[in-house]
């Protein structure tokens, strides 16, 4: 039961990280003292959530994914499932690096005066959103690959 609940942990942390990055993006549209204060909170939140997503996803990957992988490989979505997992394992580092860079840009950039710093913040936040959603999509493909394999095994 606890193991089954654990599968919810990393997608939840990851999606909250994506939402926090979207929050930074929206605040960066118009910067003043209030929005800057909120952007600082949101950008640190992004970094912390993505840092936590990493071991949470990694633990599932190393300890529990083996059983699902065996099922996926018996189904018609074996190639898709494998590709989704490879994508997650290899591309998450990009999400993580962008997420760690975001608070640096927000704290160190002169966001009130510099249009370039605002643009950089929005670009980094936007990329965290897009790459995080790609992780989400790859996760959905993985989940579906297991489901489709079971349907197939049951002859449905
Ligand atoms: C922004 C980051 C991430 C998001 C939003 C995310 C989201 C998801 C989602 C929605 C699922 C489907 C869960 C289900 O079957 O119901 C999933 C599955 C999975 N994720 Fe992630 N993920 C992220 C990062 C990672 C990382 C860093 C790893 C580790 C390498 C990872 C490993 C896995 C594995 C192994 C599964 C398959 C679970 C299974 O069916 O056994 N994910 N992910």
Categorize the per-residue pLDDT at 156 as very low, low, confident or very high, splitting at 50, 70 and 90.
low
Give the DSSP letter string of 83-130. HHHHHHHHHHHHHHHHHHHHHHHHHHS-TTT-HHHHHHHHHHHHHHHH
Distances (CA, A) of 144 to 54, 75, 76, 79, 88: 22, 11, 11, 12, 15
Residue nearest to atom 23 of ligand 1 (CA): 135
Confidence (pLDDT) at 19:
98
Ligand 1 atom closest to the Cα of residue 17 is 1
Categorize the per-residue pLDDT at 51 as very low, low, confident or very high, splitting at 50, 70 and 90.
very high
Give the DSSP letter string of 3-23. HHHHTTHHHHHHHHHHHHHHH
Confidence (pLDDT) at 155:
81
Domain residue limits at 81: 2-153
User: Longest Cα pair distance anywhere in the chain, in angstroms?
Assistant: 63
Q: Mean pLDDT over all residues of the chain?
A: 95
Total domain count, the chain: 1
Q: Can you read off the two tokens belonging to residue 78? A: 């074996």
Please state the rounded mean pLDDT for residues 57-75. Answer: 93
Query: Which of these, 52, 48, 43, lies nearest to 20 by C-alpha position?
Result: 43
Residue nearest to atom 25 of ligand 1 (CA): 57
Determine the distance separating the centroid of ligand 1 and the alpha carbon of 34, expressed in angstroms: 35
Instruction: State if residue 81 touches ligand 1 by the CB under 6 angstroms criterion.
Output: no
Confidence (pLDDT) at 135:
97
Confidence (pLDDT) at 2:
73
Q: How many residues does the chain have?
A: 156
Residue 18 near residue 133, CB atoms below 8 Å:
yes
**Is it the case that residue 61 has pLDDT exceeding 70?**
yes
pTM above 0.75, yes or no: yes
**Is it the case that residue 129 has pLDDT exceeding 90?**
yes
More confident residue, 3 or 144: 144
Residue nearest to atom 12 of ligand 1 (CA): 139
Instruction: State if residue 89 touches ligand 1 by the CB under 6 angstroms criterion.
Output: yes
Determine the distance separating the centroid of ligand 1 and the alpha carbon of 142, expressed in angstroms: 8
């Amino acid at each position: 039961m606890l193991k089954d609940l654990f599968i919810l942990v990393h997608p939840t942390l990851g999606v909250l990280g994506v939402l926090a990055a979207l929050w930074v993006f929206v605040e960066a549209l118009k910067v003043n003292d209030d929005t800057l204060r909120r952007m600082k909170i949101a950008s640190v939140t992004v970094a912390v959530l993505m840092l936590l997503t990493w071991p949470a996803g990694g633990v599932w990957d190393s300890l529990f994914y083996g059983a699902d992988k065996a099922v996926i490989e018996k189904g018609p979505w074996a190639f898709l499932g494998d590709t989704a997992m490879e994508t997650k394992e290899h591309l998450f580092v990009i999400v993580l690096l962008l997420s760690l860079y975001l608070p640096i840009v927000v704290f160190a950039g002169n966001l009130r005066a510099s249009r370039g710093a605002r643009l950089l913040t929005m670009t980094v936040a936007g990329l965290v959103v897009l790459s995080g959603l790609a992780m989400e999509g790859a996760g959905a493909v993985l989940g579906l690959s297991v489901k489709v394999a079971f349907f197939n095994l049951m002859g449905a």
